[in-house]
Structure 1
Amino acid sequence: MKNIVIIGGSKGIGNAILLQQLEKNKIYNISRTAPEIAHPNLKHYSLDVLQDELPEIETIDTLIYCPGSINLKPIGNLSINDFRNDFEINVIGAVKCIQHYLAVLKKGNSPSILLFSTVAAKLGMPFHASIATAKAGIEGLVKSLGAELASTVRINAIAPTITETSLASSILRNERMKENMIERHPMKGYLKPDEVAQMADFLISEKAKSISGQIFEMDYGLVTFKL
């Protein structure tokens, strides 16, 4: 049984990971709202990781940081605070959690860290300037820490395309928009949270013990293929 800390496990991809791991691992969830489930293997801490002091946890094998943002505006409509807020949510929060838990994590069993980027960090998309900039920071963090922690802790990131979560509800708000999104992807689909949770399960497992410092695009062909 692993001890897994999930930041943002109450909704979306984080919740899908939490539900997938809950039966076989001890889960510590840190988020502003509690998951809609009670389980003997789950301990929840209600707090804002950017504002509040993080709890002390004695044993950690895996740290997963899930918070993100979708702030899509033309560059002329993006304020400096938009860029600052997206960077705080996506990068500073992750750095704060890694720094706080790294000493404990290094003592864990095959310790690993999992972060989240976006396909927009690789593929230029209109109106994505703020979030793409923030997630590019995540990718740089993964590469740098992958090298720095190579002998002790693995770190990787998943870069999903649009995923059917509450965060993306405005983009997938009706059947027509969903159909358009499917057609936009060469493999004719977009992600469900459970698909991303399956990749997460692999990356934090012993099956991925040789993998660190990598960004895994889950993109239904959006970045790689031009058909």
Structure 2
Amino acid sequence: MTKTLLIGGNSAIACALKKNSDREFISLSRSEGSLDLDGDLNELDSIADIDGLVYFPGTINLKPFAMLKEDDFVNDFSVNVLGAVKVLKKVINQLKEADGASVVFISSVAANLGLPYHASISAAKSALEGMSKALAAEYAAAKVCFNVVAPSLTNTPLAGNLLKTERQVEGNEERNPMKQIGSPEQVATTIDFLLNAHKNWITGQVFPVDGGMSNLK
């Protein structure tokens, strides 16, 4: 039986995916703030039959541009993009050998919707989306599909600082066209669908899961 690799497999969205999907998952987790995946990734050398990959690690680094340091940009890029590169380098040959495979990256509505205080994370997530499209083009003939899920604010521990008070929750709900904050289960449902992208003729796409925030006023 083929397996789907989850990087950041202890995240809220990953846990929702595992709970509601009948796939066989292999989870590899990283400590929050840790950039060194190399040691853990060596474990992948002994795992066979991978036909899916979801890369969950991300950051929410919201600061006025004047307060951002170069290290902020480096850290956000390292977690969101270079971490994904390290993982993919390890498993791309297995994905190519599968009879169709799917890779899903997690971006953010902020990559394409101009939001204040999002300069660093917007840059990192935009890079991730661009890389995904380039990889989709490169590996299309090998039937390895690359797609991106781009959520708006979702009720996860990573977003906890933005949802600490009732006022924060109400304010964020009011800014959303559907007047709600996303749930891990809603994002996980789209990820689960995209893990069948190679069967559904879908690659090189970015799927907003944001209550209409990226397209509606």
Report the TM-score, using the length of structure 1 for normalisation: 0.88
User: In the alignment, which residue of structure 2 is the partner of 1:123?
Assistant: 113
Provide the rounded CA distance (Å) in 2 between the counterparts of 1:208 and 1:223.
Answer: 27
Contact 1:146 1:155 in 2 (8 A): yes
Give the RMSD, CA atoms, in angstroms. 1.7
Name the aligned partner's letter for residue 196 of structure 1. Answer: V
Alpha-carbon distance in structure 2 between the residues aligned to 1:166 and 1:14: 12
What's the offset of the Cα at 1:49?
Answer: 5.0
Question: In the alignment, what sits opposite 1:29?
Answer: 27
Which position in structure 2 is the counterpart of 1:96? 86
- Residues 137 and 207 of structure 1: CA distance in aligned 2, closer, same or farther (over 3 Å): closer
Whole-angstrom distance in 2 between the partners of 1:10 and 1:113: 18
Give the drift of 1:19.
2.3
Specify the alignment match of 1:225 in structure 2.
216
Counterparts in 2 of 1:39-188, with a 5 A limit? Answer: 50-54=37-41, 55=43, 56=45, 57-152=47-142, 153-188=144-179
Is 1:216 the counterpart of 2:215 in the alignment?
no
- Residue 27 of structure 1: how far off its partner (Å): 1.3
SS in 2 for 1:113: strand
Counterparts of 2:99 and 2:181 in 1: how far apart (Å)? 34
Structure (1/2) with the larger helix percentage? 2
Task: Give deviations 1:170-221, integer Å, cap 9, x for gaps.
Answer: 0011222111111101111121000011001111126852110000011112
Q: Distance in 2 between matches of 1:65 and 1:85?
A: 16
- Unpaired runs of 5+ residues, structure 2, are none
Q: Is the 8 A contact 2:101 2:198 kept in 1?
A: no
CA contact (8 A) 1:50 1:89 kept: no
1:32-80 CA deviation, whole Å, 9 max, x = no partner? Answer: 36xxxxxxxxxxxxx9653425121211010110000000001111111
Gaps in structure 1 of 5+ consecutive residues: 34-46
Q: Which segments of structure 1 move beyond 6 Å, counting only runs of 4 or more?
A: none
CA distance in 2, matches of 1:109, 1:205: 12
**Percent same amino acid at aligned positions?**
41
Q: Match for 1:30: what amino acid? A: L
Tell me which amino acid in the other structure corresponds to 2:24. Answer: K
**Structure 1 residue 205 corresponds to structure 2 residue 196:** yes
TM-score, scaled relative to structure 2: 0.92
Separation in 2, partners of 1:136, 1:208: 26
Amino acid at match of 1:189: Q
The letter of the residue matching 1:59 is D
CA shift digits 1:85-119 (9 cap, x unpaired): 00000000001111110001111232110001100
Whole-Å separation in 1 of the counterparts to 2:7 and 2:173: 29
Farther-moved stretch of structure 1 (205-214 vs 195-204): 205-214
For residues 113 and 147 of structure 2, the distance between their equivalents in structure 1, rounded to whole angstroms, comes to 19
Distance 1:144 1:207 in 2: 16
Tell me, yes or no, if the aligned pair for 2:28 and 2:40 is still in contact at 8 Å.
no
2:49–2:98 contact (8 Å) kept in structure 1: yes
